Structure 1
């Protein structure tokens, strides 16, 4: 069966929605940020400080390309869309869902120092600038776009409803 790949900005709730979706679908849940921490033994912030943004994005992409999963809801890091190879690999056996969240909501969820959150972007970039940089990449890789709802369960239900309406099935 196909995977469900959640993409979108940091702070859109990919992890929380992903867990709710996995439970609803009877799927496994995987957070790519957790895989990065497990494989490196370091936090995202530590990796960004040590490697810099460009090397971190390469590492994230390699990890994305190494995943061979089935029946899994995958919460990607917000910067995964910067790795075309990883996105192409993940989409071979999955449906990419862009959790689109209004910028004002994302801004309200972010700490002042974005690196504290482990966001892969130059330190002087604002969340608004990061959104503008990545928005076209989310659109490029999204098979489905879902507007985030209030609460992860409502968003998970919305994802299922949008996929049904679009005639998309994860069962193959």
Structure 2
């Protein structure tokens, strides 16, 4: 059974929506940021400060590559799309859902940018991170959910409908690209 993988910017609601979606569909839930924190025994921001962005991204990639689950809702860190091997691993057995929000909404939601554990290089602005990642989210997504103006339940119901449609349509033939 396929996984449902949620991707999107920090603040898009991947963890919150993921938990409710998993409960709604009766599936297990994994938050890769929490796995990283448990493995490293540190908060994401502490890892970034102590080891640097590049090492953090390597840890995130390794964590994703070690995931071997089926029928699970997975909330990823916003930076997962920066590592093609990690995304390739996730896409093997998943429906990738991009939770899309406009930049100003992301900016309004992220109040703790310096302590949240966002993988952004020194000197980069949140807008630069957004502009860098949006094309990657769009490249890797199977479906995009426009989340602006919707509550959590609406988004969960939209994903549930996509999931049920996916289950009914069955696996794609191997010659479709």
In the alignment, structure 1 residue 99 sits paired with structure 2 residue 99: yes
RMSD: 1.6
| Runs (5+) with no aligned partner, structure 1 | none
> Matched residue of 2:96: which SS?
strand
CA displacement at 1:71 relative to structure 2: 1.2
In the alignment, structure 1 residue 58 sits paired with structure 2 residue 30: no
In the alignment, structure 1 residue 169 sits paired with structure 2 residue 167: yes
Work out the CA distance in 1 between the residues paired with 2:122 and 2:28. Answer: 34
> Matched residue of 2:99: which SS?
strand
Larger radius of gyration: 2
Work out the CA distance in 1 between the residues paired with 2:113 and 2:122. Answer: 7
CA displacement at 1:99 relative to structure 2: 0.4
Q: Is the 8 A contact 1:146 1:162 kept in 2?
A: no
* Corresponding pairs, count: 169
Work out the CA distance in 2 between the residues paired with 1:115 and 1:69. Answer: 32
**Equivalent residue, structure 2, for 1:132:** 131
After superposing the two structures, state which structure 1 stretch, 119-128 or 136-145, moved more: 119-128
**Equivalent residue, structure 2, for 1:87:** 87
Work out the CA distance in 2 between the residues paired with 1:15 and 1:55. Answer: 23
TM-score (norm 1): 0.92
TM-score (norm 2): 0.90
**Equivalent residue, structure 2, for 1:109:** 109
**Equivalent residue, structure 2, for 1:30:** 30
| Runs (5+) with no aligned partner, structure 2 | 172-177
